[in-house]
Structure 1
Amino acid sequence: MIAKRIEGLLDHHEGGFGPPKPMHQYNALARRRRNLCFMRDRGLGQQSYKDLCKQHDAHGASLMVISIAGEQEKYAANGPAKVWQHAIGKGMADRVAMERQRPWDGLCGALSRLAFGAVLAIAIGVGIFMALQHPPMQLMPAPRVFLRDGVNLFTAQPEPPADTRIELFYATNRLPIGPASDRIYTVAPSTDLHLGVSNIRVGEPGRTWEWLYNLSTTAAEDDDRPHLNLETMREDAIVSDDDLSAEALAWLAQMNAALARALDRDIVIYVHGANTTVERAAGQAAQLMHFTGRNSVVVLFAWPTAENFLRYPRDLQTALGAAPQLARLVALLSEHTDARAIDLFTYSAGSTVGSEGAALVGRAVAAGAPDPRLSEVYHAAPDANFQTFVMDLEDYIGITDRVAVSVNLNDSALRLAQAVTRTSRAGRPDMRELTPEETGFLFDDSRDSGLEIIRVRPENMEGLSRRSHSFWYDDPWVSSDVLLLLLGHLPAGERGLEMKQRDVGTRYWTFPTDYPERLERVLLELRENPSLSTLLGTTAPH
């Protein structure tokens, strides 16, 4: 009965099981559904499925394996995560579906099999509904630096791209399934660091570069901005320890080749926030790369989030667990690539990963590890425990060129995060939580040690929501400042920002109302700088 109900529900949503489909169709379906994904079994045995179930069980996810290889049916449960296996024939499965465990899953153990079937059907429906809350990223508004006649960052490229696709390097500690040529990364953590290359398509298939260029250099309406669609994730290597495989060295060689073609010789690591799918994370990193004029090499660090706001506290725990893998990635890129420097860009709860990861790198350097060549560290709307954030900062600010922190004190997402965690967040700090020593350190660094606190004031910025959390990519002024920092390595005063000072002695920066005019002067000055004029472009637009 349960099998028939499951089969009927899946038949309603996806055309049923039917004949076996090619692998790429199941992977594409997985990316569309996100919460509910299917793939063809490729010889993975029953014991391997059980191992996978155990890892999902430890992180609040459920796994249901369904087979239609024969007529007999058998159900088995694996622990409290309600991992159900419909084993037929030799126990090999033709379909895998993952559905994150819901808060009410614990009640299911007391239900009969029939009642559980009804609950499972509801859970799958809820999962599909939750998936709809994670659409692909919409291309961000063009940064102000692009809204100029004539040259822009795109014009620095010797040849325009062939189409709208963006090739993006990635590293992740998410547990993978599926073939290496087209990986799916689950919500469960892996003990390894998985390295690969993804492809993101901007807009519908068949769109041209000229179409995307026009959208990227004009103030397009929200409805006109396309989505960034994750097409493939090809896993090239796995790093389990300090000994690098030939595959890992080949991945690093690909990155060196990309650096040789790039005008910007830094590598930028992008770390996304909580409640974020791999597709949205890839979209955020890809649009950052796109608006560098495609002149930079960007690496997405995709850490495992539950992709469900109800599991936000678990995301914060997982973020801390991902920090050592991020520190490993920084060391890997520093030691084995030709990059001038490594830049770290974190967004929202990605700052919990990035702050702790950078602190681990700093502590390693203090213990005698090689210089990691960290240059720019930028935390946008940081969702990290404020006191811990300051303590981490003490450990790594000395090995960087600059640490910038952009905050909106009316940030509604961080207001909610503060209510959940009962501590202030680095993006909405409460100075009363710091000790006198920590307060003194923060004040001194804001004046003397390369710490830039950037206050985003939506009331001075047309079109930006007063409670904005995503201002780094939603606002053309803020995104322009990000690009000037990452590409130009300029201090705040040379990027057109205005310095303010509080009575207690902290110095911070803000966007003045005449920022567009200041930005124009900054760009004119940069054009006279030989090291940056090539990056800004000198040819006619493509």
Structure 2
Amino acid sequence: MTRLPMLSVSGLAVLLLLGCASQPRELMPTPALYQSPGGVPLFDLPREARPKPALDLLYVTDRAPESEPESMLPYGQGRARRIAFGAAEVQIGPDLSWEELAEQSRLAQRTRPVQLELGAVRELGVFPEEPYRFEQLPSGQLVPDRAERARHAAARKELQAEVARRLAAAPKKDVLLYVHGFNETFATAAYTAADLCHFLGRESVCAFFTWPASSTGNVLISYTTTTESADYAVEHLKKTLRILGTTPGVERLQLLAHSRGTELMLKAVRELALEAIAAGREPAILYKIDHLVLLSPDIDVEIASQQVTGFLSDPDLVTVWPEARLPRILEGRLTIYASPEDRALLVSKILFRSRHRVGQLRPEDIPPKFQEYLDNIGRVDLISFEGKRTDLFGHSYFTSSPQVSSDLVQMLRYGKRLGEPGRQLRRTGPVTWEFPNGEEGPALADGARRDAPPDAITGPDWHGI
């Protein structure tokens, strides 16, 4: 692979990489609902509308450019004092036509390899370096530097224009944003985003936010570094969500976060909500966040509980609303996937001396009174996966288990609620569900969207995060 020099195009740095030195990775297993024979069609497109096998993803990052000479990745593990964004191509092969890829994507046991490999990465824009400069007036008052604000506004406009360009070609006017966890590189984050985008039918604008999670060195030291890097990235993810959610034409944001990225996501969404509330705006309307999905959350259960119910425990915050009404944060649901078989979370549980990590919760770990409390809030689901471990540490089952990935697709692509055909999990409590061991949920026969929830799971709008 050859690294090309930096170019200047319209005042923006453009980084172009051809090929990639990262190791290819297999496409995730086919979700159960698509598996042949009798599965739901993954794609149903006329020949002229069929895309290329490769996926073109939008990325946003606060990783610093890679400085290691032997690495050919565009961004490394260092923290950048700015946000950059661009386009990342994930190639799918080797040598697969669209027809061959569509066929292999419906097989439980594939007849030929289907590999993901990072292709061209183009950096399209960069926000100013932080902290932004300011001016001091003769009165002593501080005001933002005009030139710095102009550069920020120009970068925001470029990012929103790129989203708008992608929206114009997308069947759904949604943005799907994935945030990764610990021990991930730019390439591996792109691969997971590509997995999800492909099996969600390539219908939305697919994007990933990648932050400087450590992926080398002593695992304990690396994990500690990653924990603080996640805190560092909160402001940048918050800005990203604000820009995406307020882009004209975006109808919904679908947010997914994995492992350590779940705490990063919760903090960013919470801070955004506080901004909106302080301005007297409804967060769900302003930012258009639909579903918020936490996958194998690496969060202490008591901290997560405080994040989820914080608004309810701060009456002074909401007194500005009519009759102290609680503002809505999400249009859809907060869905948590957990597994007691998740061995990767044992490290953080020991390091933080945590009683429970959310990603390891069983239904019986949530006291009945707190389940009832969450049920009264509404729109909160915890789904437990206790089936056979489908990856080495049982930490990536949302892509490695066809049963779990099928449930995720039913929710995000087809709008299915728990308890409906296709998501017939076993209910174990007011807000807890579990997969039937050894069983695959039935596929959605007609691919139709069914939005009305069954009576068993109706409840008030979700008003807390």
Task: Quickly name the TM-score band, shorter chain normalised.
Answer: 0.7 to 0.9
- Aligned partner of 2:159 in structure 1 is 251
Report whether the alignment pairs 1:519 with 2:450.
Answer: no
Give structure 1 regions of 4+ aligned residues with deviation exceeding 6 angstroms.
40-43, 430-434
Q: Residues 265 and 320 (structure 1 numbering): CA distance in 2 closer, same or farther, change over 3 Å?
A: same
Partner-residue secondary structure (3-state), 1:469: coil
Q: Residues 500 and 333 (structure 1 numbering): CA distance in 2 closer, same or farther, change over 3 Å?
A: same
Q: Residues 384 and 246 (structure 1 numbering): CA distance in 2 closer, same or farther, change over 3 Å?
A: same
Distance in 2 between the 1:41 and 1:527 partners? 47
Partner-residue secondary structure (3-state), 1:213: helix
Q: Can you list the C-alpha shifts for 1:186-241, whole angstroms capped at 9, x where unaligned?
A: 2111221111111110123x4322222121111135x9443311112211112347
Distance in 2 between the 1:483 and 1:528 partners? 12
- Aligned partner of 1:416 in structure 2 is 347
Distance in 1 between the 2:85 and 2:397 partners? 29
Contact 1:236 1:248 in 2 (8 A): no
- Aligned partner of 2:287 in structure 1 is 372
Structure number with higher helix proportion: 1
Report the residue type matching 2:359 in the other structure.
Answer: G
- Aligned partner of 2:44 in structure 1 is 155
Q: Can you list the C-alpha shifts for 1:449-486, whole angstroms capped at 9, x where unaligned?
A: 10110011215xxx736951110000111111111211
- Aligned partner of 1:277 in structure 2 is 185
Distance in 1 between the 2:348 and 2:96 partners? 39
- 1:101-500 superposed matches below 5 A: 135-148=23-36, 149=38, 152-156=41-45, 159=48, 161-176=50-65, 184-204=74-94, 206-221=95-110, 224-240=112-128, 244-308=152-216, 309-310=219-220, 311-368=222-279, 370=281, 371-395=286-310, 398-400=328-330, 401-423=332-354, 424-429=356-361, 443-446=372-375, 448-459=377-388, 464=390, 468-494=394-420, 495-500=422-427
Distance in 2 between the 1:511 and 1:156 partners? 32
Distance in 1 between the 2:294 and 2:302 partners? 15
* Residue segments in structure 1 that go unaligned for 5+ positions in a row: 1-23, 28-39, 44-131, 532-542
**Higher gyration radius (CA):** 1
Q: Residues 219 and 378 (structure 1 numbering): CA distance in 2 closer, same or farther, change over 3 Å?
A: same
Q: Residues 380 and 529 (structure 1 numbering): CA distance in 2 closer, same or farther, change over 3 Å?
A: closer
Return the structure number with greater relative CO, CA threshold 8 A, min gap 6. 2
- Aligned partner of 1:25 in structure 2 is 2
Q: Residues 465 and 153 (structure 1 numbering): CA distance in 2 closer, same or farther, change over 3 Å?
A: closer
Report the residue type matching 1:519 in the other structure.
Answer: P
Q: Residues 284 and 324 (structure 1 numbering): CA distance in 2 closer, same or farther, change over 3 Å?
A: same
Q: Residues 490 and 433 (structure 1 numbering): CA distance in 2 closer, same or farther, change over 3 Å?
A: closer
Partner-residue secondary structure (3-state), 1:294: coil
Report the residue type matching 1:399 in the other structure.
Answer: I
- Aligned partner of 2:320 in structure 1 is none
Partner-residue secondary structure (3-state), 2:102: helix
* Corresponding residue pairs, total: 391
Partner-residue secondary structure (3-state), 1:327: helix
Q: Residues 157 and 137 (structure 1 numbering): CA distance in 2 closer, same or farther, change over 3 Å?
A: farther
Contact 1:306 1:312 in 2 (8 A): yes
Q: Give the drift of 1:312.
A: 0.8
Distance in 1 between the 2:351 and 2:3 partners? 37
- 1:10-89 superposed matches below 5 A: 25-26=2-3
Q: Residues 528 and 272 (structure 1 numbering): CA distance in 2 closer, same or farther, change over 3 Å?
A: closer
TM-score (norm 2): 0.75
Distance in 1 between the 2:358 and 2:126 partners? 33
Percent of pairs with identical residues: 23
Q: Residues 483 and 159 (structure 1 numbering): CA distance in 2 closer, same or farther, change over 3 Å?
A: farther
Distance in 2 between the 1:42 and 1:167 partners? 21
Contact 1:183 1:232 in 2 (8 A): no
TM-score (norm 1): 0.65
Distance in 2 between the 1:500 and 1:250 partners? 46
Report the residue type matching 1:417 in the other structure.
Answer: S
Q: Can you list the C-alpha shifts for 1:269-310, whole angstroms capped at 9, x where unaligned?
A: 100111101100000001111111211211110011121234
Distance in 1 between the 2:434 and 2:339 partners? 11
Distance in 2 between the 1:271 and 1:367 partners? 26
* Residue segments in structure 2 that go unaligned for 5+ positions in a row: 9-20, 133-148, 312-326, 453-465
Q: Give the drift of 1:141.
A: 0.5
Q: Give the drift of 1:426.
A: 1.4
Q: Give the drift of 1:428.
A: 1.8
Q: Residues 464 and 188 (structure 1 numbering): CA distance in 2 closer, same or farther, change over 3 Å?
A: closer
Q: Can you list the C-alpha shifts for 1:49-96, whole angstroms capped at 9, x where unaligned?
A: xxxxxxxxxxxxxxxxxxxxxxxxxxxxxxxxxxxxxxxxxxxxxxxx
Partner-residue secondary structure (3-state), 1:344: strand
Q: Give the drift of 1:362.
A: 1.8
Q: CA RMSD in A?
A: 3.4
Distance in 2 between the 1:258 and 1:365 partners? 27
Contact 1:156 1:293 in 2 (8 A): no
Distance in 2 between the 1:41 and 1:193 partners? 17
Distance in 1 between the 2:272 and 2:363 partners? 26
Partner-residue secondary structure (3-state), 1:287: helix
Q: Give the drift of 1:421.
A: 2.4
Q: Residues 369 and 234 (structure 1 numbering): CA distance in 2 closer, same or farther, change over 3 Å?
A: farther
Q: Residues 25 and 327 (structure 1 numbering): CA distance in 2 closer, same or farther, change over 3 Å?
A: same
